[in-house]
Amino acid sequence: MIRVLTDWVKSSNKLERLWLLAKIEFKLRYYENKLGLFWALLKPILDICIYYVVFKVVLKSDVPAFASFLFIGLIIWNFFVESTVGTIQILSTKKYLYEYSNMNKLEIYVSTLMSNSIGFFFNFLMFLLFYNFIEGESLGLTIYNIWIVVLFVNLFILSLGMSLILSNIYVIAKDITQIWAVVTSFLFFLSPIFYSLKTFRNALPSFDYGNPIAGIIINARAIMLEGTNPDFTLLVWDIGYSIVLLIIGFIALNKLGSKAAEKL
Amino acid sequence: MISMEKNYAIVAKNISKTFHISEDSHNTVKHRLFNLFNPPRRKLVQALKEISLEIEKGECIGLLGRNGCGKSTLVKLLAGVYPSDTGNIKITGSTMLMNLGVGMSHELTARENIYVSGSVLGLKIKEVDAIFDKIIDFAELSNFVDTKIKYFSSGMTARLGFSIAVNAGADIMFLDEIFAVGDVKFQEKAIKVFESSWIDGKTVILVSHSMDVIRKYCKRAAFMKNGELKFIGETNKAIELYLEDNH
């Protein structure tokens, strides 16, 4: 693992290459369809409309600033899903990059997640605009908002780890795609994305510690909507999870991923 | 010790490769679970028996052998594309494996592929900028710069690949029957490049069934048979062994 890392940092054009691959990936995703980049912004807003109607209008949820509550939860969740579900077959779709050269496969992952980060950045900008100018119950910007950087790094590492694990399992077991689809829908409904934290904690005590993505969403709301510090115990747990998963991911890449060229 | 190592582009010690080919596709979780106590019948194909070899920096070495003798497997191991089952390989520098196609995405345009390939081969963006027109001109694709590769004919794709390889090039190039690319006119151009100073200073591993090509460019050649490295050394001797094997 250390060899992989040092090898990766050593060469000088690597950052440039990562950025080039990320830009092309981003362009491929959004410029292919007619709506283009506009779609990247429209998608979360449409999602929010749907959930808003279901949970606020139909089910009369009592969460204050519910649209913003959904907004921040969904953009974090979408990043996680795009970076895991969206990358399971990455070693197959990006085979052209490594089957004719000795390029480090880790770069393929990092560049794809960087491309997703660009998308997240736009979504987050939309959230800030919405929260500060449209949301009626907004607190405005606070100093606690800065914590989003830490939470995003946490989210990035978590997604990278899961992405490495899943896509390398894919090398030997193709139906991981279907299995992960079930697991994500399980995680989606067991993360407090559209119900309040209180309801969530009453029903499933300490489950926020068992679900790494739930903790990130809970903390993001604390710093963006509630004007408080993040829950530090939860933050430490989540960072712990993501580091452990990343290490498992590196092991998977070395053990299984090295055979990708001959197996896929 | 260190100065000695510096002169080698590739040092391989006791590398081997065996492919496990299972008769039924055993690659889903379901299948693995239900057949936990009923392992698949596996066929072992030993593509490469233990091989050790050293390739010097800047040398052009030929690789000979009949179909199925393990040439392609050896090339993929030496290029770092396949992991070796045993032993170890030390590769100094970037590698590029070239046969009829090189690593290009069909979803990307010629321009994007040139930048991606150039970058993968270790060039900076500015360096790719500098050779961009040369690559396009050589490949005779100036009207299709922003066309996706998937709309290219196979000849156009191959020419682009060759042109990238010639103009960007990795430190270590594995060339697998590359003189079969394009029409006669393009082949002449390719040979011309090869005869110019292009291969000077590059490490080239040349796989070819054309004895003329091997004899012309390689000082050393290796002869393989049934996954074994039978001989490595003087080109004429290797060719002799290869021709004997064909009779």
Q: How many domains does chain A have?
A: 1
Residue B166's domain spans which residues? 2-245
d(C-alpha B11, C-alpha A254), whole Å: 21
d(C-alpha B184, C-alpha B192), whole Å: 12
- Indicate whether B157 pLDDT > 80: yes
Asked if B247 has any chain A CB less than 8 Å from its own CB, the reply is: no
Interface test with B, best of A13, A18, A178 (most B CBs within 10 A): A13
Give phi and psi for A196, each to the nearest 5. -70, 155
Asked if B95 has any chain A CB less than 8 Å from its own CB, the reply is: yes
Residue type, A231: D
- pLDDT reported for residue B1: 43
Q: How many domains does chain B have?
A: 1
- The contacts of residue A148 (CB under 8 Å, 6+ apart) are A124, A220, A223, A224
What is the CA angle B40-B45-B48, rounded to 5? 145
Chain B residues with CB under 8 Å of A172 CB are 27
- pLDDT reported for residue B186: 79
Chain B residues with CB under 8 Å of A17 CB are 119-120
Tell me the percentage of chain B whose pLDDT exceeds 70: 91
Tell me whether residue A15 is exposed, middle or buried, using C-beta atoms within 10 angstroms of its C-beta: 0 to 12, 13 to 18, 19 or more: exposed
Asked if B123 has any chain A CB less than 8 Å from its own CB, the reply is: yes
Q: Which of residues 69-88 of B touch A (CB under 8 A)?
A: 76, 79-83
Q: What is the DSSP letter of B39?
A: P
- Indicate whether B197 pLDDT > 70: no
- pLDDT reported for residue A10: 57
Q: How far is A258 from chain B (nearest CA, A)?
A: 6
Chain A residues with CB under 8 Å of B98 CB are 100
Inter-chain touch A97–B103, beta carbons under 8 Å:
yes
Contacts 24+ apart (CB under 8 A), A95-99: A95/A260, A95/A261, A95/A264, A96/B103, A96/B104, A96/B105, A97/B103, A97/B105, A97/B116, A97/B120, A98/A260, A98/A261, A98/B81, A98/B103, A99/A261, A99/B81, A99/B97, A99/B103
- pLDDT reported for residue A11: 52
pTM, entire model:
0.86
Strand partners for B15: B51
Residue A258's domain spans which residues? 2-263
d(C-alpha A87, C-alpha A164), whole Å: 9
- Indicate whether B109 pLDDT > 80: yes
In this structure, the number of other CB atoms found within 10 A of the CB of residue A203 comes to 11
- pLDDT reported for residue A8: 54
- The residue in chain A having the minimum alpha-carbon distance to the alpha carbon of residue B172 is A101
Inter-chain touch B112–A24, beta carbons under 8 Å:
yes
CATH for B233: 3.40.50.300
- The residue in chain A having the minimum alpha-carbon distance to the alpha carbon of residue B22 is A263
d(C-alpha B105, C-alpha A85), whole Å: 21
Q: Higher pLDDT residue, A63 or B100? A: A63
pLDDT tens for chain A, residues 1 to 264: 566 666 655 556 888 899 999 999 988 887 766 777 777 778 888 888 888 888 888 888 888 888 899 999 999 999 999 999 999 999 999 988 888 887 889 999 999 999 999 989 989 998 999 999 988 888 888 999 999 999 999 999 999 999 999 999 999 888 899 999 999 998 888 888 887 888 888 888 877 888 889 999 999 999 999 999 999 999 999 999 999 999 999 999 999 988 888 887
Residue showing tokens 């006669």: B184
- The residue in chain B having the minimum alpha-carbon distance to the alpha carbon of residue A27 is B108
Strand partners for B10: B55, B91
Of the candidates A103, A174, A262, the beta carbon closest to that of B120 is on A103
pLDDT band at B2 (very low <50, low <70, confident <90, very high): very low
Q: Which of residues 162-191 of B touch A (CB under 8 A)?
A: 170
Query: What stretch of H or E contains B48?
Result: strand B42-56
* Half-sphere exposure (Cβ direction) of B34: Cα atoms closer than 13 Å: 6
Q: How far is B196 from chain A (nearest CA, A)?
A: 25
Q: Higher pLDDT residue, B28 or B64? A: B64
Mean pLDDT score, B74-86: 89
Mean pLDDT score, B212-224: 89
Query: What stretch of H or E contains B77?
Result: helix B71-78
Asked if B40 has any chain A CB less than 8 Å from its own CB, the reply is: no
Mean pLDDT score, B20-32: 70
- Indicate whether B25 pLDDT > 70: no
Inter-chain touch B125–A20, beta carbons under 8 Å:
yes
Mean pLDDT score, B180-207: 78
In 3D space, the residue among A9, A98, A14 whose CA is nearest the CA of residue B119 turns out to be: A14
Q: Give start and end residues of each alpha helix (H) in A99-231.
A: 106-129, 148-172, 176-189, 197-203, 207-210, 212-224
